[in-house]
Structure 1
Amino acid sequence: MTAQCRLARVATGATAVAVHVTGRDTPLAVDGDPRGAPEAGAVDLVAADGVALGRLVAHADGPVDQDLLEVAAGGVVAHWELEAARNRLFDLEDVVARGDDQLAQASGQIVHDLNNPLAAIAMCLEIAREQVEDGDLLASLLDRAAGSAERMKRMTVALNDYGQRPVAGVTDLADEVPALLREFEPLLDEVVEVVGPLPTVALSPGDVRTVLTALWENATKFRDEDSDLEVTVTAEPVRESWRVAVTDNGRGIDEADLERVFAPTVRLDKRVPGMGLGLAAVRRIVAAAGGRVGAERAPGGGTTVWFEVPGAVPPGHSSTPA
């Protein structure tokens, strides 16, 4: 909260800015020294549900920019609500112990709680950023805050993917994979090679996109920085199913972690951004379709992550798994 006070102080030109909470005698957060400086402006802090949280007070010997103070107040409220949602997010470890279904249900509610304050923060940051010149201290602070908000947004996307219920459907991978690769241009178009024909599988197009996106993003996150990234996609019939494999030449996974990586919230490298839900979402989607997943160390380094799902033949097609 002190960071929000600092942004408000720099933006408005105040001597000090403080957050006063209803029912508390001392400020919750303050930036600058308000002693000797009179109150030059104040904005009520009201949550989205109408609950009064307190006041954002600016102290200065002269007038302050009231419009920017109101923008800053919106950012304080959004940050407040975001922190509350993040606290719920940290409680996910307890939910994990009770099973994947409850985790998925909880993640959907958390995404809902995070989206509103994140949108408010992004809007406030954008408005404030338009008021300052590049190179100013405030511009640097706002850009850093915007970067943090964007990282939180990516976290909500991961949570949302995990919380989505799998939908029954059929997808021709020969059509869907090239279409998805075009969306990833130029990030993946030149590094992903499809080897051999791709089948039609009993997964909905949306679920296929979630699965393949998670696998490709993992390949880019854990690439070997000393070599160019290479990713191959292959498919082979296995009994009444198809096994689709994504192989990369990245860092690889230790043998002891090959099964553990599919558990929710597991992150093998804490330095890499993420929540550890990508492969968990893959497993959940594939299992709902009656399939299974696995990971193996690739020959020569890297990792192969595969999933098996039942085959399906749409009208006009005659090929089936052997």
Structure 2
Amino acid sequence: MIFQEQMSVPTAEPAPNNSGNLPLILVVDDSPLNLKFLFAALRRTDFKVMVAENGTLGLELAEQHHPDLILLDVMMPGIDGFETCCRLKQNPQTREIPVIFMTALSDTIDKVNGFEVGAADYLTKPVDIPEVIARVRTQLKVANLQKDLRRQNERLAEENEKRRRVQDALRESRGRYRLLAENSTDIISRQTLSGVYQYVSPACHTLLGYDIEEMISKPVLDFVHPDDRKMVEKSTHPGQNCPSTVTFTYRAVCKSGGFIWLETVSKTVCDDKGRPVEIVSVSRDVTDRVELAQKLREHNKELDAFAHTVAHDLKNPVSTVISYTDFLIGAWDKLDEAKIKDFIGNIRSVGQKGLYIIDELMLLATVRKGEVKLHSLDMAAIVTQVLERLELMIQDFDAQITVPESWPTAAGYAPWIEEAWINYLSNAIKYGGRPPRIELGATPQDDGMVRFWVRDNGKGLTAEEQSRLFAEFIRLDEVRVEGHGLGLSIVRRIVDKLGGQVGVESQPGHGSTFWFTLPSAKETA
């Protein structure tokens, strides 16, 4: 029959006046007349149509061609429409295809059964073509909306999954960041653009002594040494370039009232439009490094002064020796033995002066590097030894020296203390009155130290001169007085090493009292 030929071609050609993707309708009915009737009507309405005479063939075509909608007869031989629909809905490839039942059955129970097995709609035979077309178009629209909804749901599910992965990664990143921050020995902080702490890591307690709660919501400058606040404020102020990073070093105030040096790397964080939103900083304790650098600068400064002083003070005796020697060479034949001995004596005296300078340089080097153990000092014996060493100078200057009958016991290192007394006493003799009247003494102090002192009857010192006395390699220059510039700086180094202090008390016209302190022997016992 003619319609049988149509059924042999599963997919019918679209109408000539249509183009594009037309909806594909599968009609399943055991009546060739119904198939031909619906085929023609649907083709005229610009649908692509394929037909099947039974449920088995309908299932095969549905799985192969995935039609957009199925018109399914209920009463068919073999597997009926209910069973066919049930199998369609069980197959993942066809379960989403909307099914419209066509049946002469009008009982409500039959319609309910149809909806229960998955039907989208119901048509009662004999079918009305306009109604068929209307219901088909409605279900296609519904199906398209459901497809769109599924796609949107899939996209949403995919986006949700991506967001979940991002959130998981963010949580993991935050966890690593917090673990790093909470276990770091450096202070990690977040601040507002106005310089207020939003977050501070626990290292703030280790380095500064503050609890986290004591720093949160407080200005950064509250924890900065007053002398460094302007520099820190300028360094942390967001600039025109964002993001920007700056490194600076400053003194941070500890809860105890002291301070430490912090090196801070501060970065301005920006939003996606390049606008600064906050400041993130990492601060490291560099106190040891800064103090070492300061000591190195002081050491280099001392070396410069040392070299200048050595060159200056050794130049005079060396020049004098050369001058005397040149004179003797030129006038040897004209000088008698007494004059020659006199010049040689002068050369020896000047050479001895140079030797003293070298000895003190060696002592200075020893004090700079040496570490000694403190012992109880026999100060009477030490002073006696000093007076013996200075006997010739005392005679030359006709100095009168008063020494106490007894001394309080102090702790120190005898060879170094002897040199301290040598320097103080020789200065008192050289720079004191004419003739020098010198008194030595000692005074126990309430702080467990003993103050030893030398009082002279010299012209005294101004406040400016006093401030320069114990600086490295400074001397009291008097052209007519012998002296070299190392003495007081050596005394200061010696006493510093032994845990004491040095100083002077003086007024112009009233002489000077030079002193040093040492720990009491009772305190070190």
State the TM-score bracket (shorter-chain normalisation).
0.5 to 0.7
For residue 476 of structure 2, what is the aligned residue in structure 1?
Answer: 268
Secondary structure at the counterpart of residue 250 of structure 1: coil
- Alpha-carbon spacing, 1:134–1:147, altered in 2? closer, same or farther (3 Å): farther
For residue 234 of structure 1, what is the aligned residue in structure 2?
Answer: 441
> 1:158·1:275 contact (CA, 8 Å) conserved in 2?
no
The answer as to 2:352 corresponding to 1:150 is: yes
Aligned counterparts of 1:215 and 1:154: Cα–Cα separation in 2: 15
Match of 2:454 among 232, 246, 252: 246
Aligned counterparts of 2:356 and 2:342: Cα–Cα separation in 1: 21
Match of 2:499 among 258, 271, 290: 290
Shift of 1:262: 0.8
Match of 1:98 among 300, 322, 331: 300
The answer as to 2:387 corresponding to 1:181 is: yes
The answer as to 2:419 corresponding to 1:210 is: yes
Q: Which of the pair has the greater relative contact order for Cα pairs under 8 Å at 6+ separation?
A: 1
Aligned counterparts of 1:96 and 1:146: Cα–Cα separation in 2: 37
For residue 223 of structure 1, what is the aligned residue in structure 2?
Answer: 432
| RMSD value, Cα | 4.8
Match of 1:201 among 410, 423, 429: 410
Residues 278-321 of structure 1 show CA distances to partners (whole Å, capped at 9, x for unaligned) of 011110000111111100116961110011111114xxxxxx79
Aligned counterparts of 1:104 and 1:164: Cα–Cα separation in 2: 15
- Alpha-carbon spacing, 1:268–1:102, altered in 2? closer, same or farther (3 Å): closer
User: Residue type of the partner of 2:459?
Assistant: R
Aligned counterparts of 1:184 and 1:149: Cα–Cα separation in 2: 17
Name the structure where helix makes up a greater proportion of residues: 2
Residues 125-153 of structure 1 show CA distances to partners (whole Å, capped at 9, x for unaligned) of 99xx9999636987776565445433322
For residue 517 of structure 2, what is the aligned residue in structure 1?
Answer: 308
Aligned counterparts of 1:140 and 1:178: Cα–Cα separation in 2: 31
* Superposition map of 1:65-84 within 5 A: none
Secondary structure at the counterpart of residue 305 of structure 1: strand
Larger radius of gyration: 2
Secondary structure at the counterpart of residue 164 of structure 1: helix
> 2:451·2:515 contact (CA, 8 Å) conserved in 1?
yes
TM-score by length of 2: 0.34
The answer as to 2:350 corresponding to 1:159 is: no
For residue 255 of structure 1, what is the aligned residue in structure 2?
Answer: 463
Shift of 1:168: 3.9
Aligned counterparts of 2:473 and 2:382: Cα–Cα separation in 1: 28
Secondary structure at the counterpart of residue 256 of structure 1: helix
User: Residue type of the partner of 1:246?
Assistant: V
- Alpha-carbon spacing, 1:167–1:252, altered in 2? closer, same or farther (3 Å): farther
The unaligned stretches of length 5 or more in structure 1 are 1-94, 109-121, 314-319
Aligned counterparts of 1:310 and 1:240: Cα–Cα separation in 2: 6
The unaligned stretches of length 5 or more in structure 2 are 1-296, 311-323
> 2:461·2:507 contact (CA, 8 Å) conserved in 1?
no
Shift of 1:176: 2.1
* Superposition map of 1:20-169 within 5 A: 98-100=300-302, 134=336, 145-165=347-367, 168-169=374-375
Secondary structure at the counterpart of residue 412 of structure 2: coil
Alignment length, in residue pairs?
A: 218
> 1:230·1:248 contact (CA, 8 Å) conserved in 2?
yes
TM-score by length of 1: 0.53
> 1:296·1:305 contact (CA, 8 Å) conserved in 2?
yes
- Alpha-carbon spacing, 1:298–1:230, altered in 2? closer, same or farther (3 Å): farther
For residue 377 of structure 2, what is the aligned residue in structure 1?
Answer: 171
Aligned counterparts of 1:96 and 1:135: Cα–Cα separation in 2: 52
User: Residue type of the partner of 1:169?
Assistant: H
> 1:242·1:308 contact (CA, 8 Å) conserved in 2?
yes
Aligned counterparts of 1:269 and 1:107: Cα–Cα separation in 2: 13
Q: How much identity, in percent, do the aligned residues show?
A: 26
Residues 35-89 of structure 1 show CA distances to partners (whole Å, capped at 9, x for unaligned) of xxxxxxxxxxxxxxxxxxxxxxxxxxxxxxxxxxxxxxxxxxxxxxxxxxxxxxx
Aligned counterparts of 1:191 and 1:291: Cα–Cα separation in 2: 28
Aligned counterparts of 1:193 and 1:307: Cα–Cα separation in 2: 18
Shift of 1:198: 1.1
- Alpha-carbon spacing, 1:139–1:305, altered in 2? closer, same or farther (3 Å): closer
User: Residue type of the partner of 2:482?
Assistant: P
User: Residue type of the partner of 1:251?
Assistant: K
Shift of 1:101: 8.0
